[in-house]
Structure 1
């Protein structure tokens, strides 16, 4: 897909995320590996004033919960250039590849996926996206990969398991900085298909609060995903900040 003069790239308010403005606007990330598509996504090449080109990859919200959350108006994703991210439920690496683009060469993405089949694609993607560390393990057993993962600024989770809150908590206790952030995609019918989605989201938020998470916002992923929500917040907010907030 040629960009050329017809496409205008604008910065999104989330640092490291962009919007390609043409006939139809598209969410895009700056390709860390120019010339390469990861999952058949369109690439847009834009001419710079100094005769160089910059390549962007279209980020499809129907294939990525994080893109859906951004288009759903989430206030902050906390994933930005230079960030260290622990990504739980990496699958074959579709969204991970865009997170890799966003954090850039100075950032790092620890990508955990239990399925060996998906993991193969993840490992192949990471060969070129060198800021991605693929980890083929069960996110419930974070001690198995503690030697591979440093402290992180953000945990992103899309594990679609009934005990997702506990899985995220275990990983946060081991790897997430105090005052760090979490972004969790919640699929209601994976947790409890017998009650309305809103009730599931509310009970998940309560579970998170018990684990020292402080949820700050919740957005629906409609119309891209049914009965999904994205919850974002802070982990173990530093005491000083709490005191200041109360004054």
Structure 2
């Protein structure tokens, strides 16, 4: 990986902002991801993210922290102990430059011997598991990182709306993937292209089923304005 995402974030942090990130998926055309958006404050965040930050408590693990905006709010405004992890070296370097006390280059799937009260997966954070077949193992790992009484706060989107609707109200969904929410993601920045990677948009019912299969409760906390939602997952009481 070239870490173009991290390179772009670090460029912005260091005053070298001249271009935005270009994203594209297997079911959508090129789109612009403005770098300033990744550095937004609480007041500029969508309602789902605000709600998640309001609900965060105790020790927090921010998975896929990016530029660290969520972590920074929790550390500075709510005075919580936050561990911010991302596989992007550029992102983590940016987080440290912004003042985050515990930012690490790490894969959450390899973390062990640590426990948290709140695990955050924001900006379609569940997507990092790539394929629906991976969601069980993903949730099992997150569950193992929770303290008793801990919670996982995750947002995602049901992208069924992106597929054509027929006269009967059904959807024309390609059979290339096992699940319609699986997409291939591409990122380009300053003329360079990242190797495509798998990303998952999971609808709430499917997430709920996966959670229950893993002995976790799943609650729909808030629905967004465009097929997106925030969910809270907690281990079932024994």
- 1:90-110 per-position Cα deviation (integer Å, ceiling 9, x unaligned): 111011111223440xx3111
**Could you tell me how far 1:155 is from its partner in structure 2?**
1.1
2:209 pairs with 1:193? no
2:108 pairs with 1:139? yes
**Could you tell me how far 1:230 is from its partner in structure 2?**
0.8
1:115 is aligned to 88
Matches within 5 A, 1:122-161: 122-125=95-98, 128-130=99-101, 133-143=102-112, 146=113, 150-158=114-122, 159=125, 160-161=127-128
Secondary structure of 2:109's match?
Answer: coil
Matches within 5 A, 1:82-231: 83-104=58-79, 107-125=80-98, 128-130=99-101, 133-143=102-112, 146=113, 150-158=114-122, 159=125, 160-161=127-128, 162=130, 163=134, 166-173=137-144, 175-189=145-159, 192-193=180-181, 200-222=203-225, 226-231=226-231
- 1:92 to 1:165, Cα distance in 2 relative to 1, 3 A: farther
- 1:178 to 1:40, Cα distance in 2 relative to 1, 3 A: closer
The two structures have a TM-score, normalised by structure 1, of 0.54
Distance 1:97 1:165 in 2: 30
**Could you tell me how far 1:202 is from its partner in structure 2?**
0.6
1:60 is aligned to 44
Q: Contact (CA 8 Å) 1:181, 1:232: kept in 2 or not?
A: yes
**Could you tell me how far 1:153 is from its partner in structure 2?**
1.1
Secondary structure of 2:154's match?
Answer: strand
- 1:173-231 per-position Cα deviation (integer Å, ceiling 9, x unaligned): 1x20122111111234497338xxx9822111110122222112342222xxx432110
Q: Contact (CA 8 Å) 2:157, 2:202: kept in 1 or not?
A: no
- 1:90 to 1:65, Cα distance in 2 relative to 1, 3 A: farther
Aligned pair count reads 160
Secondary structure of 1:59's match?
Answer: helix
**Could you tell me how far 1:167 is from its partner in structure 2?**
2.4
**Could you tell me how far 1:117 is from its partner in structure 2?**
2.3
- 1:203 to 1:117, Cα distance in 2 relative to 1, 3 A: same
Distance 2:64 2:39 in 1: 21
Q: Contact (CA 8 Å) 2:119, 2:152: kept in 1 or not?
A: yes
Q: Give the CA RMSD over aligned residues.
A: 3.3
- 1:208 to 1:220, Cα distance in 2 relative to 1, 3 A: same
Distance 1:178 1:139 in 2: 19
Q: Contact (CA 8 Å) 1:155, 1:172: kept in 2 or not?
A: no
